[in-house]
Structure 1
Amino acid sequence: MEDILRPIYQERASQANTLGVLMIEKKQKEMTVTDTFDSVMLIVVHEAKQPVFVKHYTYLGKKAALHIVTESQLKKWILLGNNKKIFEWIYNGRVLFDRNEFVDQLKMELKEFPIAQRKQKMGLEFAKLIRRYMDGKAFFENKHYLDAYNDIVHSLHHLARLAVIENGFHPEVTVWSQVKQIEPEIYKLYVELVNSEETIEKRLELLFLASEFLIHSRTEKSIQHITDVLLQKEHWSFNELMENEELSIYSVDFGMLFEYLIEKNKVEVVNIETKSPSIFHRYYKVPEKNKQNS
Structure 2
Amino acid sequence: MESTFFSIVNEQTVGQHAIGAIGYRHSGGGFHGSLLHDFELLIMVICSGGGLRRQVDHCIKGNLKYQIMYISSEDLLDWIAGGEHHEIIRCFLDGEILWDVQRRVISLRSQIIELEQTLREQHIFKEFSRFLRRYLEAKRYSQDGHFMDAYRSVADALYHYACIELIEKGVHPGQRVWEQISHLGSVVYKLYEELTESKETLEQRVQLVLLACEFSVMSKMADCCKFLLKILSSRHEPWTIQELLKHPDLVLVREELPMVLRKLVYRSLVRETPSGHQSSAAMRQIRYWAN
TM range (shorter): 0.5 to 0.7
1:260 aligned partner: 260
Work out whether 1:29 is the aligned partner of 2:35. no
TM-superposed deviation, 1:26: 6.3
Q: Secondary structure of the residue that 2:21 maps to in structure 1?
A: strand
What TM-score do the two structures reach when normalised by structure 1? 0.61
2:221 to 216, 219, 222: 219
TM alignment of 1:193-208, pairs within 5 A: 193-194=192-193, 197-198=197-198, 201=202, 202-208=204-210
2:98 aligned partner: 96
Asked if the contact 1:22–1:94 (Cα under 8 Å) also holds between the matched residues in 2, the reply is yes
Q: 1-side partners of 2:85 and 2:138: how far apart? A: 29
TM-superposed deviation, 1:150: 4.8
Letter in 2 for 1:135: R
Letter in 2 for 1:190: Y
> Could you say if the C-alpha distance between residues 54 and 107 of structure 1 is closer, same or farther in structure 2, counting changes exceeding 3 Å?
closer
Letter in 2 for 1:263: K
TM-superposed deviation, 1:219: 2.2
Q: Secondary structure of the residue that 2:197 maps to in structure 1?
A: coil
> Could you say if the C-alpha distance between residues 257 and 29 of structure 1 is closer, same or farther in structure 2, counting changes exceeding 3 Å?
farther
Q: Secondary structure of the residue that 1:97 maps to in structure 2?
A: strand
Asked if the contact 2:21–2:99 (Cα under 8 Å) also holds between the matched residues in 1, the reply is yes
Q: 1-side partners of 2:270 and 2:184: how far apart? A: 30
Q: Structure 2 stretches of 5 or more lacking a match? A: 174-179, 277-281
Asked if the contact 2:22–2:98 (Cα under 8 Å) also holds between the matched residues in 1, the reply is yes
Q: Deviations over 1:226-255 (max 9, x none)?
A: 3343241423345543555xxx34431244
Letter in 2 for 1:42: M
> Could you say if the C-alpha distance between residues 67 and 224 of structure 1 is closer, same or farther in structure 2, counting changes exceeding 3 Å?
same
TM alignment of 1:207-246, pairs within 5 A: 207-231=209-233, 232-238=235-241, 240-241=243-244, 244=247
> Could you say if the C-alpha distance between residues 243 and 189 of structure 1 is closer, same or farther in structure 2, counting changes exceeding 3 Å?
closer
Once superposed, what is the RMSD of the aligned Cα atoms?
4.8
Q: Secondary structure of the residue that 2:198 maps to in structure 1?
A: coil
2:161 aligned partner: 155
Letter in 2 for 1:212: E
Work out whether 1:134 is the aligned partner of 2:133. yes
Asked if the contact 1:45–1:70 (Cα under 8 Å) also holds between the matched residues in 2, the reply is yes
Work out whether 1:85 is the aligned partner of 2:87. yes
2:176 aligned partner: none
Asked if the contact 1:133–1:155 (Cα under 8 Å) also holds between the matched residues in 2, the reply is no
Asked if the contact 2:48–2:73 (Cα under 8 Å) also holds between the matched residues in 1, the reply is yes
Q: Secondary structure of the residue that 1:96 maps to in structure 2?
A: strand
> Could you say if the C-alpha distance between residues 118 and 66 of structure 1 is closer, same or farther in structure 2, counting changes exceeding 3 Å?
closer
TM-superposed deviation, 1:158: 0.9
Q: Deviations over 1:161-181 (max 9, x none)?
A: 34x5xxxxxx1469859976x
Q: Secondary structure of the residue that 2:167 maps to in structure 1?
A: helix
Letter in 1 for 2:225: I
The range that moved more, 97-106 or 31-40, is 31-40
> Could you say if the C-alpha distance between residues 10 and 262 of structure 1 is closer, same or farther in structure 2, counting changes exceeding 3 Å?
same
Q: Deviations over 1:102-143 (max 9, x none)?
A: 444566788xx77x9756633431222221442365368363
Q: Secondary structure of the residue that 1:34 maps to in structure 2?
A: coil
Asked if the contact 1:23–1:96 (Cα under 8 Å) also holds between the matched residues in 2, the reply is yes
Q: Structure 1 stretches of 5 or more lacking a match? A: 165-170, 181-186, 274-278
Q: How many residues align?
A: 257
Larger % of helix: which? 1
2:44 to 25, 42, 45: 42
Q: 1-side partners of 2:206 and 2:14: how far apart? A: 53
Q: 2-side partners of 1:148 and 1:109: how far apart? A: 38
What TM-score do the two structures reach when normalised by structure 2? 0.61
Aligned identity (percent) is 14
Bigger CA radius of gyration: 2
> Could you say if the C-alpha distance between residues 264 and 89 of structure 1 is closer, same or farther in structure 2, counting changes exceeding 3 Å?
same
Asked if the contact 1:132–1:151 (Cα under 8 Å) also holds between the matched residues in 2, the reply is yes
